[in-house]
Structure formats: C-alpha cells, structure tokens
C-alpha cells in the first residue's frame, strides 16, 4: 500500500505478513484479566472458556483478543529461535527436548512387555495401567535422585571438586543400571540404617553374573 513502510526480514519475509492487533488486546484487556483470574481460582471450567472464545466455528471478539496476545509470545519465540548471535534459547529448547525424550525412553523400557503401548480395551483399564506406569517412573526417579545426591555428597567429603554447573547436568532418568525385566513386587519393609544401601566402591573388582557364588 502506498505510504506504508515495509521491512525486510530476510528468510523470515514470508512469515512477516501481519502485525499484532494491539487495539483488540487493549479493548478486551479487563475481560482477559478476569478470565485469567477465574482460571487461577478454578471458578470456570475449560469447556465454558471454549464457548466464550468461539461460536459456531468462528472466534468471538474475546477469543480474537486472546489470539492476538498469543501471537506476541509466538513471535518472540520465533525471533529467539533464529537469533544468529545468541543460541542460548535454542540450547535450552534442545535440553528440554532431551529431558522429555529421556523420560519417554524410560517409560518405554519399563513398559517393555507391550513395547510401550496400552492394550486395554476399556478406559478404566487404560487408566490403571498408565497410573501404575507413572508410579513406577516416579519411584525410579526418586530412587536415582537420592543415590545421585548421596554419591555427590560422598565425593565432596572425599575432597573431590564437584562443580554446581556439572551437577545441574545430572539426570535421574538414566537407567542403564536398572533391571526392568520380570515382575514388580511391592511389600512393606523397614529401610536399612540411613535409608540407603552403601554405595559401590569404584575400585572394587566386580563379579560377572556367571561368577557369583563361585570360588
């Protein structure tokens, strides 16, 4: 259009077609705050909000205002992803994706009997299986976290230098040390003294499975 300035955004030019309509956000801002407050205080259900945001397949003015507000965050996300100078945001995204994939891999390995799929034909059965899987995953993460903490504490007590930035990269989702074969049996028991069994001595000679019990 004559008299309207257009910027050059390089490879992002096809995406830079529209501007965020700030007027819609300003007009409906008080209602948007009320909706947010209702969600925080559990005063409104999600399906009621969907009816407020759209009718007969078309967005309401309030729904359009939320859509415009959401475009602000999406635009910021895209700009930070393609930033050619600072890749901190991309590294954080990749780290989060790695954590999620580690969690999914642990779940698949634990649920190995059906190759990580749920085969119950009824909803309650599926929920029971997913609930049990979640319980086992949480127990594994808790167990591993406690032993990682104990190992770090022992290394520090022995005088080893342990940097906080290295600890931040430790993950309780690594599970090569776990045997996920067989059945799970949960029985009440009294934990050993201190709650944890002794840590392994890294200098000790380990026996193979075939050598255990032999002289």
Share above pLDDT 90 across residues of the chain, in percent, rounded to a whole number? 11
Q: Copy the structure tokens of residue 46.
A: 């999600």
27 vs 162, residue with greater confidence: 27
Give the global pTM. Answer: 0.49
pLDDT in tens, 39-90: 888 887 777 888 888 888 889 999 999 999 999 998 888 888 888 778 888 8
Q: What is the dihedral of CA 94, 99, 103, 105, to 10 degrees?
A: 50
Please answer whether residues 52 and 32 qualify as being in contact, where contact means their C-beta atoms are separated by less than 8 angstroms. Answer: no
């Amino acid at each position: 259009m004559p008299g309207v300035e257009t910027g050059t955004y390089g490879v992002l030019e096809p995406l830079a077609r529209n501007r965020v309509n700030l007027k819609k956000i300003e007009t409906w801002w008080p209602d948007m705050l009320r909706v947010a407050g209702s969600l925080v205080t559990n005063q409104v259900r999600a399906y009621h909000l969907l009816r407020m945001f759209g009718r007969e397949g078309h967005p309401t003015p309030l729904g359009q205002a939320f859509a415009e507000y959401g475009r602000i965050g999406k635009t910021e996300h895209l700009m930070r992803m393609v930033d050619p100078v600072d890749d901190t945001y991309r590294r954080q995204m990749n780290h989060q994706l790695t954590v999620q994939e580690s969690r999914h891999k642990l779940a698949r390995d634990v649920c190995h009997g059906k190759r990580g799929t749920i085969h119950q034909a009824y909803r309650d059965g599926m929920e029971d299986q997913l609930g049990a899987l979640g319980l086992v995953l949480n127990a594994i993460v808790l167990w591993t976290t406690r032993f990682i903490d104990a190992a770090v504490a022992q290394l520090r007590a022995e005088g080893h230098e342990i940097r906080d930035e290295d600890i931040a990269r430790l993950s309780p989702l690594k599970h090569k040390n776990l045997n996920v074969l067989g059945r799970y049996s949960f029985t009440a028991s009294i934990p050993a003294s201190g709650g944890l069994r002794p840590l392994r001595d890294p200098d000790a000679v380990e026996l193979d499975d075939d050598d255990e019990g032999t002289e």
